[in-house]
Amino acid sequence: MSNTSINSPDPTPYSSPKRKQTTVNASKTFPLFPFLPAELRHQIWQFALPDPSHPPSALVPHKKGCWVAKPIPYTGELGQVNDPNGNYEIIFDMGLLDHVQIHTPLLHVNSESRAIAQKWASNVTAPRRNRLSEKQIQDQMYNDDDSSEDIPPFSRQFDMDCDLLYLVPDNIVDLILGAGDRLEQPDMNGKAARVVFSLPLAVVSEEVIWLKDETLMEEIMDLFSILGLIHLVVGEQPKWMEGGVQRWWDLEWVSERAFVWQWMESKFVETGGARVERDEVHERMVYWCERMGKVLQKNNRTRFEMRIVSAVRR
């Protein structure tokens, strides 16, 4: 299946009843807009575009297969060995995570606004449509219902400066053990490598605090103690696509509640407003923090905070 480039001079726009209705509503609201000079119309469309960093922050689900081995180029620096079987780094490649949608209503107003929106999308490093899953491509090409309207036509990759990695019990194991597993792959036999890993802001599902495996729980807490700050999503969890481009989920810090580690007193203090979680969930949080406190003391950590948040669909 061939894809139409977003820079194609003659794109075939997707048409749906919802888009047509949007156009009708726009003409009713601004009846004289089409008669404005083209330069002024274009400037108005530009002002209506989101910020270039849109969405400003997003949840992106962790997925397996992001641990990769990359050769370290020989630079001749003092102490660096020019060894074909060495100089490798095992890194967690954030670029392999699913992308997050980029959307603006201007894509669905008329051909003029759509052309401006498409150029905007390409300028914010939007990848080609092959980032969509096969199902998303089929839906976008052939469906004309409400579900296809929700398919994000453009996307951007994970941004280390603002996005948040979403973790559940299954994939958090890969985050902890994935580097070691990659080192054990046949292509790394006889090669020396170092692990380089910088974890961005982490968001964990409520399921994590309910884990029963003591060994796994301690490994997770060791990881969290290094991070210093985690966000715990209570209540409804984000719903993800099976690969492709993910819809935009973000966080809402509910009542600014948090469990904050007081290292001088060796205890957690609960801060913020009213609770939103069920009583049994709160009891489990308190128990989990008691366990976490022991890990923080063992690792000589002076700072840790667990914020209680909700996932919201943007």
At 28-76, the pLDDT tens digits run 566 788 889 999 999 999 998 887 667 788 999 999 889 999 988 777 6
Question: Domain range for residue 34?
Answer: 17-48+104-151
Domain co-membership, 200 together with 122 = no
Domain co-membership, 63 together with 124 = no
HEC per residue, 36-96: CCHHHHHHHHHHHCCCCCCCCCCEEECCCCCEEEEECCCCCCCCCCCCCCCCEEEEECHHH
Domain co-membership, 146 together with 174 = no
Q: Is this model's pTM higher than 0.85 or not?
A: no
Domain co-membership, 141 together with 230 = no
Domain co-membership, 90 together with 218 = yes
Domain co-membership, 248 together with 119 = no
Residue type, 302: T
Domain count across the chain: 2
pLDDT digits (tens, 9 = 90+) for 238-255: 998 877 788 889 999 988
Does residue 215 sit within a domain? Answer: yes
The residue count for the chain: 314
What is the per-residue pLDDT for 41?
A: 92
What is the per-residue pLDDT for 39?
A: 92
Domain co-membership, 117 together with 171 = no
Domain co-membership, 304 together with 175 = yes
Of 120, 99, 98, nearest to 6 (Cα)? 120
Does residue 182 sit within a domain? Answer: yes
What is the per-residue pLDDT for 147?
A: 43
Report the alpha-carbon distance of residue 206 to residue 231 in Å, rounded: 10
Domain co-membership, 259 together with 132 = no
What is the per-residue pLDDT for 155?
A: 81
DSSP states of 161-224 as a string? TT-EEEE-HHHHHHHHHHHHHHHTSGGGTT--EEEE-----EEEEGGGGG---HHHHHHHHHHH
- What are residue 43's phi and psi, to 5 degrees? -65, -40
Of 58, 242, 60, nearest to 166 (Cα)? 60
Domain co-membership, 110 together with 86 = no
Positions in the chain whose pLDDT score sits under 50 = 1-24, 26-27, 129, 142-152
Q: Is residue 78 classed exposed, middle or buried when 0-12, 13-18 and 19+ CB atoms within 10 A define those classes?
A: exposed
